[in-house]
Amino acid sequence: MNSAEIRQRFLKFFEERGHVVIPSASLVPEGDSSVLFTTAGMQQFKPYYIGKANAQKDFGSLNTVSIQKCVRTSDIEEVGDESHLTFFEMLGNFSFGGYWKKEAIEWAYEFITKDLGLQIDFVSVFGGEAEVPEDKESREIWKSIDPNITVKKFGRADNFWGPTGEEGPCGPTTEIYVNGIEIWNIVFNEFYQSRDKTLKLLEVKGVDTGMGLERLVKVIQKTPTVFETDLFESIMKAAGSRIVADHVRTSCFIITDGVVPSNTDRGYILRRLLRRAYIKNKNVNLVVDAVIINPSYNGLYIFAPNIKEVVTQELEKFEKALNAGLKQVEKGADPFVLFTSYGLPLEIIEEVTTIDKEKFMKQIKEHKQLSTERGSQKFKK
């Protein structure tokens, strides 16, 4: 079963059960300044969970299903292992008061075991912590479906999700593990967390699920890592490494949604990804081509026509800065000049020079402190 078939099966399954198919939102979240990128399928639906928008009016149903483009920058350092990615697609079904735990769990079990033919290793539920009680209801539902299923209980760090950003809907989760990997996270949004971390009950309880397509495809296609699946096969041939494949793929999607390289916010993330990829493979544009013509994206995603232009301009600037900086280092300058004068991040400096990381971090700290003090003095004048 290839990735395109898996997407279709998921959407069809929930559409047949009263869900309206909603297109993926942009990677640049609209009206949500709490995060740089869209990090979860529920993000575009946040207003419906808190009563600021009406799903029945807007969608003709209280239940939706989507395949959402997501970027999570917290995983950049882990990219290259068997399952972590910067960009990924999130399969999700959502309800804004239409159904609750029983239907969400039963449908998830049915889709995984019957539609996909997978065997569940175990499931987990929220074991209770602080003011939030143990989720006994979810455990009982799982046991009613399969008395022999293993149900593990975990705390807030593992089985409580959200919010996206500094505040928003959140709640306890139940998660499904297959082949040792957590593939589906089912969130029961019953709380709203404010900026001071306090929780209050939502007026309408909502269901929010997320299943990473890449991990699911890995399990179904029985590959060692996500990078051997059909999602990455042609990209890996051009990239030569997992990090390059991930970073260039992510960059293509980010640029398509209107982001350009810069020194701040989303633009800085894009710049960091492209430069990190370039250090490992100078033929970045060949990898861009492989992403754009990837068979799994055919008919699903339309990439921006200026991607190669944006990438080329950025990497030409980077190559000039890198070469100029390295010449200074070759002449005896401290590698720290690459950070202060040429704006190269630590991870790239580590790739191209030999440095004492502890000393380097101390220099960065002192540099930032001095810059702050100078800025303060200038402001006082």
> From CA 154, how far away is CA 135, in angstroms rounded?
10
Tokens of 279: 């250090």
CA 315 to chain centre: 25
Which domains are seen in the chain, by residue range? Answer: 3-221 (3.30.930.10), 232-329 (no CATH)
Answer for the pair 123, 175: CB distance below 8 angstroms, yes or no.
yes
**Tens digits of pLDDT across the chain (381 residues):** 999 999 999 999 999 999 999 999 999 998 777 789 999 999 999 999 999 999 999 999 999 999 999 999 876 666 766 667 999 999 999 999 999 999 999 999 999 999 999 999 999 999 998 889 999 999 999 999 999 999 999 999 999 998 877 888 999 999 999 999 999 999 999 999 998 889 999 999 999 999 999 999 999 999 999 999 999 999 999 999 999 999 999 999 999 999 999 988 999 999 999 999 999 999 999 999 999 999 999 989 999 999 999 999 999 999 998 999 889 888 888 888 888 888 787 778 888 888 888 888 888 788 877 766 665 554 444
> From CA 54, how far away is CA 342, in angstroms rounded?
50
Distances from the Cα of 208 to the Cαs of 40, 61, 71, 97, 157, in angstroms? 10, 15, 18, 11, 18
Answer for the pair 93, 56: CB distance below 8 angstroms, yes or no.
no
Q: What are residue 252's phi and psi, to 5 degrees?
A: -60, -45
* Per-residue model confidence (pLDDT) at position 381: 47
> From CA 312, how far away is CA 314, in angstroms rounded?
5
Distances from the Cα of 238 to the Cαs of 80, 175, 295, 308, 311, in angstroms? 16, 35, 14, 15, 16
* Per-residue model confidence (pLDDT) at position 75: 60
> From CA 10, how far away is CA 279, in angstroms rounded?
38
Beta bridge partners of 171: 161
> From CA 253, how far away is CA 156, in angstroms rounded?
32
Model confidence, pTM:
0.90
